[in-house]
Amino acid sequence: MSEHLVAAGSGRPHRPLAIISGGASGIGLCVAEILGNRGCTVAILGRDPARLARARSNLEAQRIVVVAHTLDVRDSAACAALADALVAHHGPPLWVVASAGIVEPGFFLEQDVAATGAQMETNFLGTANLVRAAAPFMVAAGQGHIAMVSSAAGLFGVAGYAGYCASKFAVRGFAEALRIELAAAGVSVTVSVPSDTDTPQLAQERPRRPAAIAPFAGSGQPLAPQVVAAHLVRTAERGGFISAPTAQLAAIARLQGLVSGVFARVQMRLLRRNKR
């Protein structure tokens, strides 16, 4: 992990800050455990106060320094206010992990229009709101890791998940553009594309999957959230962009990433030239 930052005006080293949305359960909570055990102060964010309280107790039992805040990432003003407050108390974040997300399975033409909007607002706009609030502090500090949780459904379409796929493709596209924009500032961007992961969200989703697509959408054993979280942190630390936690997903991501990787390098060169 990068060296500890120095608290503004104090001259004393302090624990690096990790801000994690969706930090009360699943992949987000596992990332909090990893970074907390490596010396970060972890700020876990979520909409459910009871779940946040349980997660905080879990982390504190591991002697992890943790703060928990109720936050709806769809509220951009609330994201900005919380980021300002966290930075004022803890210094600029070394990590920002956008893990909050929802899924509403159902065939597009049979599904209420609100389901598509809800997934886009939480999964994509919620991710963008958190990053917009926190990234300027990372740029000013000249370092940091931004990690976003997309999905295998952000690599290829899955019938019965049109709205979810759209939101997770949006996260991946957002991450691709952002890594180009922030590369020169010393801030890395990584996006995770896991398949089914054993989380509370999966438990709620499975009974609502369209039966016709279940043999495809539910094929294979779910990944452990600890595995996904550990792969995401390792990938981010080495400056990698796509965190694909299985060999099959890695192969799919590599094939799809060939063209976008070329485009990214061309754009990075153009931006560097423009700053000369």
Domain edges within the chain: 17-275
Among the ranges 13-17, 19-23, 202-206, 255-259, which has the highest mean pLDDT value?
19-23
pLDDT over 90 percentage in the chain: 74
Residue with the bigger pLDDT between 6 and 40: it is: 40
Among 105-109, 146-150, 211-215, which is the least confidently predicted range?
A: 211-215
Integer Cα distance of 235 and 225 in angstroms: 15
Higher model confidence: residue 211 or residue 50?
50
- Work out the pLDDT band at 7, boundaries 50, 70, 90: very low
For the entire predicted model, the pTM comes to 0.89
Residue 16, pLDDT score: 97
- What is the CATH class of 17-275? alpha beta
Q: How confident is the model at residue 219 (pLDDT cuts 50, 70, 90)?
A: low
The residue ranking higher by pLDDT, 38 or 275, is: 38
8 Å CB contact between 146 and 96: yes
Alpha-helical segments (H) within 39-112: 49-61, 76-90
**Is 192 within 8 Å of 27 (Cβ atoms)?**
yes
Residues serving a catalytic function are 164
Residue keyed to tokens 């796929």: 165
Buried b (16+ CB within 10 A) or exposed e, 159-183: ebbbbbbbbbbbbbebbbebbbebb
167 to 132, 135, 266: CA distances (angstroms): 17, 21, 26
Torsion, Cα of 69, 71, 73, 78 (10° steps): -100
Confidence band for 95, pLDDT divided at 50, 70 and 90: very high
